[in-house]
C-alpha cells in the first residue's frame, strides 16, 4: 500500500496529470447534492516541531495556502452548520466542499487559520477534549515518536516488538512505525500500557502538549471556527467497550459546551474507527458523524453516521485534491 501511495504521489506531480485534471474539470459540470469533505491534521514544517510525529503533517504552510486558494476559486466551501441545515431540508450548493481538521494541534491557529480567515473560508475543528490545558504530555503517538527520536540507546528490547536496533534515525523510524501499527491493533488499555512501557524502556518522555488551550479554542470559536466533538481521550472506539465509547462521545460534547458554549451536534471518529456497534452509540448523540473512509458523499443517500472524507497528506498535491473532488456528473 505504501508503494502504491508513493507511485500515485509521483504521478500527481507530473505536468501531464495536472493537464488531465484540468481537462476533466472542464468536462465535469458538477452534480447536485454531492459533498466533498477534506481532512487535515497539521499544517507545519517538520523542522518546526521535530519531536512531533511528522506523519500527521497534512501540508506545509505554502502548500496549504495554495490548496485553500484553489478551493476559494473553484468550489463552494461550506460550514458544518450549513451541512446540518441540508439535513433539515436546505439545498446543497454545487461543488460543495468542507474543510475539517482533526485533533486541534496548535499549528491550526498559527498556520492554517490565518489563511482560512483571509480567504473567508469556514472550517471545522474536531477537538479531543481531554487534551487542552493538559500538563502531562500530548498524544501517545507523539510521545512515542519523541522517545524513539531522542533516546540515547543504540539497541533495546521493545515491549511487543522484541530486540530493535536504534543506531540511526532510519532504524529508529522503522521501529517506531512497526510499534505504532501494532499498538493500533490492541485493545485500548493494552495499547496505552504498551506505549508507557516503551517510553520507560527508552528513557525519554516528551511532556510538551501540542494541543490548543481552551483559551485559544474559545478565541478561535469567537473568530468563526466551528468546534465539534472528537472524544475526550482519543481512543479507537472499536477498541473499547460500548459503554466507554458512549462516555467518551458524551463527555466530549459536554466538555465543549462547558468551555465554549453550545456547539453543533457533530462528531469525528478518532482514526475513523467505526463499526455497527460504535455507529449505533454515536447516532443518538451526533446527527452527523465523520469517518476517514475516502470518497465523496451524495447527501440524498449517504449514511449521516458515516460521512466520507478525503484525507490530505503531505504528498497530496493540489492536482490530486482536485482529482478526488471531481463529481463525474
Sign of CA dihedral 84, 85, 91, 93: negative
Mean pLDDT of 11-35: 69
Residue 84 has a pLDDT of 96
Mean pLDDT of 27-43: 87
Q: How sure is the predictor about 4, in pLDDT bands with cuts at 50, 70 and 90?
A: very low
Beta carbons of 38 and 58 less than 8 angstroms apart: no
Q: How sure is the predictor about 329, in pLDDT bands with cuts at 50, 70 and 90?
A: very low
CB neighbours of 191 closer than 8 A, spacing ≥ 6?
A: 140, 183, 184, 239
- Residue 300 phi, psi (nearest 5): -75, -25
What DSSP string describes 141-152? Answer: HHHHHHHHHH--
CB neighbours of 13 closer than 8 A, spacing ≥ 6?
A: 317, 319
Q: How sure is the predictor about 11, in pLDDT bands with cuts at 50, 70 and 90?
A: low
If you ran DSSP here, which 8-state letter would residue 210 be given?
A: -
- Of 22-31, 133-142, 276-285, 317-326, the range with the lowest mean pLDDT is 22-31
Mean pLDDT of 118-125: 98
What DSSP string describes 262-328? Answer: ---SEEE-GGG---HHHHHHHTTT-SEEE----S-EETTT--TTSB--EE--TT--HHHHHHHT---
User: What pTM does this model have?
Assistant: 0.92
**Euclidean distance between CA atoms 130 and 138, whole angstroms:** 10
Average pLDDT, the chain: 91
Residue 24 CB neighbours (<10 A): 13
Residue 326 has a pLDDT of 84
Tell which residue, 217, 216, 234, has the closest CA to residue 226.
217
Q: Which helix (H) or strand (E) holds 73?
A: helix 61-74
What DSSP string describes 77-118? Answer: E--HHHHHHHHTTPPPPTTEEEEEEES-BTHIIIIIHHHHHH
pLDDT tens digits, residue range 38-61? 999 999 999 999 999 999 999 999
Residue 68 CB neighbours (<10 A): 23
**Euclidean distance between CA atoms 218 and 136, whole angstroms:** 22
pLDDT tens digits, residue range 164-197? 999 999 999 999 999 999 999 999 999 999 999 9
Return the higher-pLDDT residue of 265 and 106.
106
Domain ranges of the chain: 2-133+210-324, 140-202
**pLDDT surpasses 80 at 10:** no
**Euclidean distance between CA atoms 180 and 57, whole angstroms:** 16
Fold of 2-133+210-324: TIM Barrel (3.20.20)
pLDDT tens digits, residue range 253-304? 999 999 999 899 899 999 999 999 999 999 999 999 999 999 999 999 999 9
* CA torsion angle 118 123 128 129 (round to 10): 70
The percentage of the chain sitting over the pLDDT mark of 70, rounded to a whole number, equals 90
**Euclidean distance between CA atoms 234 and 72, whole angstroms:** 32
Q: How far is CA 171 from CA 53, 156, 159, 179, in A?
A: 15, 12, 16, 12
**pLDDT surpasses 60 at 2:** no
Amino acid at each position: 500500500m505504501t508503494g502504491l501511495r508513493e507511485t500515485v504521489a509521483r504521478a500527481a506531480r507530473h505536468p501531464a496529470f495536472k493537464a488531465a485534471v484540468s481537462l476533466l474539470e472542464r468536462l465535469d459540470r458538477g452534480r447536485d447534492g454531492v459533498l466533498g469533505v477534506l481532512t487535515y491534521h497539521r499544517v507545519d514544517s517538520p523542522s518546526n516541531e521535530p519531536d512531533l510525529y511528522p506523519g500527521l503533517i497534512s501540508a506545509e504552510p505554502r502548500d496549504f495556502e495554495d490548496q485553500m486558494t484553489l478551493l476559494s476559486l473553484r468550489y463552494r466551501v461550506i460550514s458544518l452548520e450549513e451541512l446540518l441545515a441540508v439535513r433539515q431540508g436546505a439545498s446543497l450548493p454545487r461543488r460543495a466542499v468542507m474543510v475539517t481538521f482533526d485533533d486541534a494541534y496548535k499549528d491550526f491557529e498559527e498556520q492554517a487559520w490565518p489563511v482560512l480567515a483571509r480567504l473567508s473560508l469556514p472550517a471545522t475543528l474536531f477537538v479531543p477534549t481531554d487534551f487542552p490545558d493538559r500538563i502531562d504530555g500530548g498524544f501517545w503517538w507523539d510521545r512515542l515518536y519523541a522517545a524513539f527520536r531522542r533516546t540515547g540507546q543504540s539497541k533495546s528490547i521493545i515491549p511487543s516488538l522484541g530486540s530493535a536496533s536504534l543506531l540511526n534515525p532510519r532504524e529508529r523510524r522503522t521501529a517506531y512505525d512497526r510499534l505504532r501499527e501494532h499498538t493500533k491493533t490492541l485493545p485500548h488499555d493494552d495499547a496505552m500500557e504498551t506505549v508507557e512501557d516503551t517510553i520507560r524502556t527508552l528513557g525519554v518522555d516528551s511532556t510538551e502538549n501540542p494541543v490548543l488551550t481552551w483559551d485559544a479554542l474559545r478565541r478561535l470559536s469567537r473568530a468563526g471556527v466551528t468546534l465539534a466533538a472528537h472524544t475526550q481521550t482519543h481512543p479507537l472506539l472499536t477498541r473499547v467497550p460500548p459503554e466507554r465509547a458512549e462516555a467518551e462521545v458524551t463527555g466530549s460534547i459536554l466538555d465543549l459546551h462547558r468551555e465554549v458554549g453550545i456547539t453543533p451536534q457533530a462528531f469525528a471518529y478518532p482514526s475513523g474507527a467505526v463499526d455497527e456497534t460504535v455507529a449505533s452509540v454515536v447516532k443518538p448523540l451526533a446527527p452527523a458523524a465523520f469517518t476517514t473512509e475516502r470518497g465523496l458523499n451524495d447527501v440524498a443517500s449517504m449514511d449521516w453516521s458515516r460521512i466520507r472524507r478525503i484525507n490530505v497528506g503531505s504528498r497530496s498535491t493540489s492536482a490530486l485534491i482536485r482529482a478526488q473532488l471531481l463529481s463525474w456528473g
